């Protein structure tokens, strides 16, 4: 009897699942992608167990759940709930969290940053990293990955300290990582942040310039400046979307653009999704697993 078809159950707390991730899942090899909208954390147990018990245990390798949405913490709550709903070793399926693609994008950001730091003879651990756009899903996830890898992370708030301070506290309480909030609500305050860090990650909303070329080149200790915004104007002036370690004009800081990150993100997400179409053993994919895969693709 031929193998069963591979099925991806795609759950989100939002109104719609992401078309981007649907395309990615089909191109990664899933035969069927089924969306579930407005899903709450408490509903994961029932959904997971329905997916498990409707197939023979050996066909669990062709069954997976992808968790979307926009909130990284809700996605991690869902990932945890899905894991607890399994009954190993016989009744298990694969599950992956990637809200708005934030985990694979953030993993790509940090992996590419690490690659260029090593070109300069430095390691990510101990490096001072500032994240602009830190209250968004990608910026928050990038800061968390960097902090868990040993970087000294500053979360910068464009609207002051309150929201980024809350996020620092939440991350410390939940993950045991220490982060520092910083006020980036005007140009002098941004420049104070730049004077104290070696890496800048810009993950603000599309089409918004966060830092000028002059600010980047004037910051003497800055080594890498990465921008995930591909919509003009650039989030970091002087960093082109195609740049992958090209010095910003007028300075020595290495610029990394959105398409350099996107190439690693794409390969990472494809690998992780493809690995769940026929997974033996089953896969449980969160931030750490995404970063591990991104590191391989950035190095390659």
| Secondary structure of 36-80 as H, E, C letters | ECCCCHHHHHHHHHHHHHCCCHHHHHHEEEEECCCCHHHHHHHHH
204-232 residue pLDDT tens: 988 899 999 999 999 999 999 999 999 99
pLDDT at residue 187 is higher than 60: yes
71-123 residue pLDDT tens: 999 999 999 999 999 998 889 999 999 999 999 999 999 999 999 999 999 99
For helices 162-175 and 137-148, give the axis angle rounded to 10 degrees: 50
pLDDT, position 10:
98
pTM, two decimal places? 0.96
What domains sit in the chain, N to C, each tagged with a CATH number?
7-101+266-299 (3.40.50.10280), 105-261 (3.40.50.720)
pLDDT at residue 265 is higher than 70: yes
pLDDT, position 88:
86
pLDDT, position 1:
37
pLDDT, position 2:
46
């Amino acid at each position: 009897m031929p193998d069963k078809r591979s099925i991806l159950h795609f759950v989100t707390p939002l109104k719609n699942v992401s078309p981007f991730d649907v395309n990615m899942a089909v191109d990664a090899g899933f035969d069927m992608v089924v969306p579930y909208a407005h899903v709450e954390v408490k509903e994961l147990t029932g959904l997971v167990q329905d997916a498990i018990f409707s197939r023979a245990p050996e066909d669990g390798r062709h069954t997976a759940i992808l968790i979307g949405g926009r909130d990284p913490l809700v996605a991690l709550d869902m990932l945890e709930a899905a894991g607890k709903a399994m009954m190993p070793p016989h009744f298990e399926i694969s599950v992956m969290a990637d809200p708005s693609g934030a985990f694979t994008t953030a993993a790509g950001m940090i992996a590419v940053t690490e690659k260029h730091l090593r070109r300069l003879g430095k390691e990510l651990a101990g490096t001072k990293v500032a994240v602009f756009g830190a209250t968004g899903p990608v910026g928050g996830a990038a800061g968390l990955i960097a902090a868990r890898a040993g970087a000294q992370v500053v979360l910068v708030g464009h609207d002051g300290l309150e929201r980024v301070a809350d996020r620092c506290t939440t991350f410390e309480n939940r993950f045991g990582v220490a982060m520092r909030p910083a006020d980036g609500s005007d140009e002098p305050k941004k420049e104070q942040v730049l004077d104290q860090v070696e890496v800048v990650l810009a993950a603000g909303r599309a089409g918004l310039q966060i830092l000028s070329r002059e600010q980047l080149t004037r910051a003497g200790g800055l080594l890498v400046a990465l921008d995930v915004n591909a919509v003009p104007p650039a989030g970091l002036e002087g960093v082109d979307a195609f740049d992958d370690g090209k010095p910003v004009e007028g300075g020595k800081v290495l610029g990394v653009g959105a398409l350099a990150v996107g190439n690693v993100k794409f390969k990472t997400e494809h690998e992780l999704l493809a690995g769940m179409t026929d997974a033996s053993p089953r896969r449980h994919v969160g931030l750490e697993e995404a970063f591990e895969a991104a590191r391989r693709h950035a190095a390659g």
